[in-house]
Structure 1
Amino acid sequence: MPKTSSDVRRLTLNGPTMGTRWSALVETTDAVEVADLQQALAEAVHQVDRQMSPWLPDSELNRLNRTPPGTWLDLPPEILEVLACALEINRRSQGAFDPGLGDLVDAWGFGPARHEPDAAAIRRAAQAGSTPAYETLELDMAAGRAIKHAPLQLDLCGIAKGYAVDRMALVLRQHGLDHALLALDGELRALNSQCHGQPWAVAVEYPQDGRRSTHSVVELDNLSIATSGDYRRFLQLGDIRVAHTMDSRHRAPVRNDIASVTVLAPDCMRADAWATALLVSGSDGMALAQRMGIEALWLLRRDNRLTTVGLGRFSEAPASPAKA
């Protein structure tokens, strides 16, 4: 039964991680040890960063990247869970989402190796084999280990933040908390509704350089949302915008008319990865989303206008174009 506003205590918790910030808006009618909850949420997010960051030399991800092909490596269950999901979506998206593009990410200056494009590194990465990660990396979940069957540099930036949000949700449930809105960058997850029964209102950002504004609002109840786009991290090379998201099929940064894609899913890890997959898929993305039963919102740059296209609950989104 929904609680009255006088019964509800609202907590706002946040902290730094992964070059951005995590946040938790929690509603409860019970007493909560705020300091303990803050510490538990921070540790959950930092654990994901310690295991999956390409910028930390001793992360489990970089240990796997340094391990020679043909050698089994023991890994913690958390990164194995993320790798399994990444390989599944890699396969189901026919390579549109590919966690095996760390060499390309680095070559274009978006990874830890360099801060600007390197022409020689780009040529090497472009000429490398394009075997999808799901055919190159083998996981033994029961034994807690992984093996590469060919050289492979993994990058989990397209899925790890979403997973960190899911880990925050797990922490809240372990503390007996069932009403919250959790966020890390553009990935969010709603635990149920607000205590008084109303869904959580979440803004879909207008894809605009240099400032933040709202394009539309989505209501969430026990659902996750993630957005991928080309307007936050990119390089401007003359008149060409180079997005930080890589396209495995062309071994180059993605180039299409999609400004952003927003995806709904039960968990944030899958919302995060599928948003990337649909961004990379370009004009094929809607057919892919329809096959996978994905609810998604595309904001497209066409004729210097911003056009809206949606599936599922987004199909009733305003379709009138706005200036891009």
Structure 2
Amino acid sequence: MKTKWLYYPVMALFMLLAGCDARHESAGASALVLEGRTMGTFWRVSLADVDASRKEALQKAVQQRLDQDDRELSTWKADSVLSRFNQYRGNDPQPVSDNMADIVTVALRIGQKTQGKMDITIGPLVNLWGFGPVKQPDKTPTPAQIAAARALVGLQHLRVIQRSEGAYLQKDLPDLYVDLSTMGEGFATDHLARLMEEEGIHNYLVSVGGAVLTRGKNSEGKPWRVAIQKPTDKENAVQAIVDLQGHGISTSGSYRNYYELNGKRISHVIDPTTGEPIQHRLVSATVIATTALEADGWDTGLMVLGEEKAKELALREKLAVYLIVKQGDGFTSWMSPQFKAFILPDRE
């Protein structure tokens, strides 16, 4: 549905811009910037008023935290907790971490709110269209292949069970394949924010792939600013700039991750109800929420819904949403009332 989180090389919308913005905003003697790779994308942490002598220890702590997440949530590692659940063919509840249970719980709730458009069981369709571990197809999948993959998809087949001894996942479809890539960047970003707080750091901007979260001020004592990119794969132009005010932000877009097949552009954003890549005019959906995980789940569902239904849902749920829509040779934008509170009037 969204850019592959685990070991897929294409950058998400916010990655470069969040990085550029962080470099611009954190310039100063007391700024400390950490960077690295994880889960097939990049992570970045910008810190204000943190002594440079802590850099090596913090770099190590961040990488260890993200490596731990990868060992739990990867669909590309055969021995990860999630992969073992996907390989299991029974219907007994399987023990998982609280982290994984939290992600799935949020995903099930957002999936229900988006009429099933945000579906973490969409893995068979993602793989069929060549956006997973399986290579890209040399011809368009047939209706029969799409139908067969769709038969293996559905949030109704997945349950989270909380017991006194821990959390469990249960499936009633043996071949159900759970793919948390649509929310992994947001979860990992929140996880890094918690790590910063544990380290006694309260002024930071953290990002993993296309998800960003900020707290406090930058090294100049000003709000951290994050840019929304214009919908083009040829330049890094700024569409809008926001002050997150301690929130998380994530973008899902249809223009960065695609391939050409028989003269047709195949988007990585797949509609689980049709089994095919989206064809509508909505090219980018950005969401600001209290956590990056929430934002990362909502943006995917809104992107699949398309312009009109996404607007209706944003207004009904009072979500902070910014949409960019293809209009002729250009683009138009729309933001919900809740999003307007985060927009900065200038681009300096």
TM-score higher than 0.5: yes
- Is residue 2:270 matched to residue 1:262? no
Please name the residue that 1:321 is paired with.
none
Partners in 2 of 1:77 and 1:110 — Cα distance?
28
Contact 1:88–1:134, Cα closer than 8 Å, also in 2: no
Contact 2:36–2:44, Cα closer than 8 Å, also in 1: yes
Partners in 2 of 1:122 and 1:9 — Cα distance?
58
Report Cα offsets for 1:261-296 as digits up to 9, x if no partner.
Answer: 111001001101111111001021010111111111
* C-alpha spacing 1:135/1:291, structure 2 compared with 1 (3 Å): same
Shift of 1:8: 7.2
Please name the residue that 1:24 is paired with.
45
- The letter of the residue matching 2:177 is Q
Report SS of the residue matched to 2:325: strand
Contact 1:90–1:132, Cα closer than 8 Å, also in 2: no
- Is residue 2:265 matched to residue 1:241? yes
Report SS of the residue matched to 2:134: coil
- The letter of the residue matching 1:206 is K
Please name the residue that 2:161 is paired with.
140
- Is residue 2:250 matched to residue 1:229? no
- The letter of the residue matching 1:147 is Q
Contact 1:181–1:188, Cα closer than 8 Å, also in 2: yes
Please name the residue that 2:95 is paired with.
74
Contact 1:11–1:27, Cα closer than 8 Å, also in 2: yes
Partners in 2 of 1:87 and 1:284 — Cα distance?
19
Q: 1:213 aligns with which of 213, 216, 237?
A: 237
With 225-234 and 48-57 compared, the bigger mean Cα shift is at 48-57
Please name the residue that 2:145 is paired with.
124
Partners in 2 of 1:189 and 1:111 — Cα distance?
27
Partners in 2 of 1:157 and 1:118 — Cα distance?
25
Report SS of the residue matched to 2:311: helix
Please name the residue that 1:188 is paired with.
212
Report SS of the residue matched to 1:28: coil
Q: 1:289 aligns with which of 294, 301, 314?
A: 314
Contact 1:224–1:268, Cα closer than 8 Å, also in 2: yes
- The letter of the residue matching 2:320 is E
**TM alignment of 1:34-73, pairs within 5 A:** 34-73=55-94
Shift of 1:129: 4.9
Please name the residue that 1:322 is paired with.
none
Report SS of the residue matched to 2:76: coil
Structure 2 unaligned spans of 5+: 1-25
Structure 1 unaligned spans of 5+: 319-324
Contact 1:75–1:144, Cα closer than 8 Å, also in 2: yes
Report Cα offsets for 1:238-279 as digits up to 9, x if no partner.
Answer: 443211121112111122101111110010011011111110
* C-alpha spacing 1:102/1:118, structure 2 compared with 1 (3 Å): farther
Partners in 2 of 1:273 and 1:62 — Cα distance?
21
Report SS of the residue matched to 2:186: helix
Report Cα offsets for 1:40-89 as digits up to 9, x if no partner.
Answer: 11111222222212211112221111111412211122212111111111
Shift of 1:313: 4.8
Report SS of the residue matched to 1:299: strand
Contact 2:30–2:219, Cα closer than 8 Å, also in 1: no
Please name the residue that 2:8 is paired with.
none
Partners in 2 of 1:121 and 1:163 — Cα distance?
35
Please name the residue that 2:335 is paired with.
310
Count of residues in correspondence between the two structures: 314
Please name the residue that 2:133 is paired with.
112
State the TM-score, normalized to the length of structure 2: 0.83
Partners in 1 of 2:240 and 2:76 — Cα distance?
34
Paired-residue identity, %: 28
Shift of 1:117: 5.6
Report SS of the residue matched to 2:48: strand
